[in-house]
Chains A and B, each alone.
Chain A
Amino acid sequence: MALRNRVLNSYINLLRTEKRVFNQDLKTLNNVLHQTRQQYRENQLVTDEKKIEELVEHANAVSNFLLTNLVQAVRKSETRFELKFHKDTDLNHTYEFIGDQKIRKKRGKIALDESQEEQSQCCGGGACGTNTNISQKCS
């Protein structure tokens, strides 16, 4: 029972984090939420407790990473981006700017949608790398 709750809590936690860090970037947010839901569904039938523990740990690590190591860059003009730091952002860090969706970098993805009023992209040190499928879907 306790393990079951930990799974659900990790799920809630991850969804919360994603809604927070991908705030307003609806396209990326929907992709990420979809990916999360799908992966939890896929692993729903896992019965090995050790494996479940590992998956929960992984989900929590991803959540924590997104929260601390991902900064949204919102394009304000042709040459200017506004970085959105929040209270959990780890500032003792060098961030890699990931600004082109077509050239898929090894780590990370971006969401550049011409139709969106605010174009935002994400730059982080690898959080996005954990969600490789999303990036493929984006591009």
Chain B
Amino acid sequence: MLRSLSKVLNSNMFRPTTSMNGYLYRNYGSDARLGDKEITDRVIEIVSNYDKVLGKTVSPSTTFKELGLDSLDAADVLVAVEEDFGIEIPDEEADRISSLKETIDFIKKTPTAK
């Protein structure tokens, strides 16, 4: 219940703020990409909110395996990341990604992430 509430809050309240940031950056005509810190923070938040991870300590260097996530869980997390950043991770990349760091690195090199 609380979790679903936090999801609603996430989608309705936090997201417009982040996209607003992206919009402002774009307005200045400079780098439209998200900052490294923001990407890291958001990825950590998404992973932390995943059912099986709740209550565990998540850091950028953690692997999905260390969090007790199997390949299906990892796929689930990646889809949540895709949704949040408005991107699509190609199949080959998704097969390769097995840690938060790899996820973050992929988003960093994806200019359309928002």
Query: Interface residues, chain A, CB within 8 Å of chain B?
Result: 4-5, 8-9, 11-12, 15-16, 19, 26, 30, 37, 40-41, 44
* Interfacial chain A residues near B8, Cβ < 8 Å: 26
Would A16 and B88 count as touching, CB distance under 8 A?
yes
Total residues of chain B contacting the partner, CB 8 A: 15
Query: Interface residues, chain B, CB within 8 Å of chain A?
Result: 4, 8, 71-72, 75-76, 78-79, 82-83, 88-89, 91, 94-95
Would A19 and B72 count as touching, CB distance under 8 A?
no
Q: In the bound complex, how far is the Cα of B105 from the Cα of A54, in angstroms?
A: 34
* Interfacial chain A residues near B71, Cβ < 8 Å: 4, 8
Q: A12-B78, A16-B88, A19-B83 are in contact. Are A40 and B95 (CB under 8 A)?
A: no
Q: A12-B79, A15-B79, A19-B79 are in contact. Are A5 and B72 (CB under 8 A)?
A: no
Q: In the bound complex, how far is the Cα of B75 from the Cα of A5, in angstroms?
A: 11
* Interfacial chain B residues near A30, Cβ < 8 Å: 4
Would B83 and A5 count as touching, CB distance under 8 A?
no
Would B72 and A44 count as touching, CB distance under 8 A?
yes
B80 to chain A, nearest CB (A): 9
Among A12, A30, A44, the most chain B Cβ lie within 10 Å of the Cβ of A12
Q: In the bound complex, how far is the Cα of B94 from the Cα of A122, in angstroms?
A: 30
Would B88 and A15 count as touching, CB distance under 8 A?
no
* Interfacial chain B residues near A40, Cβ < 8 Å: 72
Partner of B82, one of A5, A8, A16: A16
* Interfacial chain A residues near B78, Cβ < 8 Å: 12
Would A15 and B91 count as touching, CB distance under 8 A?
no
* Interfacial chain A residues near B95, Cβ < 8 Å: 5, 8-9
A81 to chain B, nearest CB (A): 24
Would B83 and A12 count as touching, CB distance under 8 A?
no
Supplied contacts A5-B95, A15-B76, 12 more A-B pairs, CB within 8 Å: A4-B71, A5-B91, A8-B72, A9-B94, A9-B95, A12-B78, A15-B75, A16-B79, A19-B79, A26-B4, A30-B4, A44-B72
13 CB-based A-B contacts, threshold 8 Å: A8-B71, A8-B75, A9-B91, A11-B72, A12-B75, A12-B94, A15-B75, A16-B79, A16-B88, A19-B79, A19-B83, A30-B4, A37-B72
Q: Which 9 A-B pairs have the closest CB atoms?
A: A15-B79, A9-B91, A5-B95, A12-B75, A11-B75, A8-B75, A40-B72, A8-B71, A12-B79
